[in-house]
């Protein structure tokens, strides 16, 4: 039971960090936005 709760907490925290990075990328200029998008895509597929 505790193991499942820990996994859910880790998943939620990672999801929040991903959302923060995504919104920061949207607020940046187009060039850095493309760089961050490429970084996030490579990170997702690793």
| Paired tokens of 46 | 């690793």
Q: Are 25 and 37 in contact (CB under 8 A)?
A: yes
Per-residue pLDDT 10s for the chain (46 aa) are 778 888 889 999 999 998 888 887 777 666 666 777 777 777 777 5
Give this prediction's pTM.
0.48
Position 3 scores a pLDDT of 81
| Domain ranges (residues) in the chain | 2-45
Q: Are 26 and 33 in contact (CB under 8 A)?
A: yes
- Neighbouring C-alpha atoms within 13 Å toward the C-beta of 36: 16
> In terms of DSSP H, where are the helices of 1-46?
2-27, 30-45
| Paired tokens of 39 | 């970084």
Position 16 scores a pLDDT of 92
């Amino acid at each position: 039971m505790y193991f499942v709760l820990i996994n859910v907490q880790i998943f939620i925290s990672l999801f929040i960090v991903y959302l923060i990075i995504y919104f920061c990328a949207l607020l940046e200029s187009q060039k850095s936005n493309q760089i961050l998008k490429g970084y996030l895509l490579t990170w997702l597929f690793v």
